[in-house]
Amino acid sequence: MLDDLKLIHERDPEDALGVVEKQWQQLGHEFGVDASKFSGIDNVVLAGMGGSAWPAVYLNTWAQPSVPFEIVRDYTLPAYVGKNTLFISSSYSGNTEETLSALTEAENRGAQVAVIAAGGKLEEVAKAKQHVLYTIPGGIQPRMSSFFFLVAMAELLEPLGLIPKGKLAELRSVGGWLKEQITSWGPTTPTDKNAAKQLALELIGKSVVVYSGPKIFPAANKFKICLNENAKNVAWVNQYPEFNHNEFIGWSSHPTEKPYAVVEIRSNLEHERVQKRFTVSEKLLSGKRPAPLIIEPQGETHLQQLLWTSNFCDFVSVYVALLNGIDPTPVGLVEKLKVELDK
């Protein structure tokens, strides 16, 4: 089925696969925003939900900011937010109610504000109040515009000295490399030569549980998100070594037959003890859980492995959607939820 281009086109009318194939281009985008007015920053707080928040997890893990960097997925802010806080309000739609609420609170506390959005109320507020604004190109789903957000965050933070110098250049340089890596995952590459299609076929009809170590966890979490939103498939995510302190035991008992697929993303960049935990846990859980389907991230650097894994798993999630007979692009239930909440 995944080699039937006509059927793929019918089930993917908004060309989610095409968007996934072109994500590498986002890494070359230049916003050209002047954020030099910010000063005296002691901490950074980013408020966002879903696909507008998780790029900050990438940045926090990979770029390692020089000041505390907290991600808030809520209506309210930590008590410490004040005039020495750089507050980033991040929402693709610009209408995310939690993010707008947090922005109002940040303004009331005198925080220094930057906005990342593709439109909506958030963009209107930013323009009216002259907040520093990074405008994300529109027309695609938030979860597929994440590299835009990552670039915007790096463009904002590096000139302020809040992430190490050279991180933005590194981010841009990965684009060409990533383009070469994804050539065998597209719809025209047959299943017997396409690792993304092969993994999707292993996941169909199952609830997916994704595990990784801390270094690759942002990409593991993104995989979970895209299985939820693209494939409309239930999925969960966790990371080692935390897994061994609780969830590990949960696999040891009933039921014997578990309707799950276990995916483990095993990076050679993880701490050596984390790498050993993968193999020892697999041995001890043999026969108690499904044998893990293993993804080995490619690339020599942390950033390469993060973005490689993210892009590969995006392809997988779209292929699972097509196997489910689902259009991967719309998230109609989310829109219905918003309507109900406004009643």
| 140 and 276 assigned to the same domain | no
| 219 and 123 assigned to the same domain | no
| pLDDT of 51 strictly over 80 | yes
Tens digit of pLDDT for each residue in 131-173?
Answer: 999 999 998 988 899 999 999 999 999 999 999 999 999 999 9
**Residue 229: active-site member:** yes
Tens digit of pLDDT for each residue in 277-309?
Answer: 999 999 999 989 999 999 999 999 999 999 999
Mean pLDDT of all residues belonging to the chain: 95
| 133 and 206 assigned to the same domain | no
| pTM > 0.85: yes or no | yes
Tens digit of pLDDT for each residue in 256-274?
Answer: 667 899 999 999 999 999 9
Is residue 310 domain-resident? yes
Torsion of CA 164, 168, 170, 174, to 10 degrees: 150
| Catalytic residue (one of 245, 254, 283, 343) | 245
Torsion of CA 307, 192, 189, 220, to 10 degrees: -20
pLDDT score at 111: 98
| Catalytic residue (one of 9, 127, 129, 338) | 338
pLDDT score at 338: 79
| 105 and 139 assigned to the same domain | yes
If one counts the domains in the chain, the total is 2
| 144 and 254 assigned to the same domain | no
Task: Report the SS3 class of residue 108.
Answer: helix
The CATH number of residue 142's host domain is 3.40.50.10490
pLDDT score at 94: 95
**Residue 245: active-site member:** yes
| pLDDT of 196 strictly over 80 | yes
pLDDT score at 255: 64
| Catalytic residue (one of 123, 155, 158, 229) | 229
Give me the mean pLDDT over the 163-192 stretch.
96
| 197 and 317 assigned to the same domain | yes
The residue among 176, 207, 236 that closes a domain is 176
Q: Residue 123: what residue type? A: E
| pLDDT of 340 strictly over 90 | no
Backbone angles phi, psi at 30, to 5 degrees: -120, 125
Helix/strand/coil percentages in the chain, nearest 5: 50, 15, 40
Parent domain of 296: 185-323
Query: Residues 20, 237, 118, 335: is their CA dihedral positive or negative?
Result: positive
| pLDDT of 254 strictly over 80 | no
pLDDT score at 207: 95
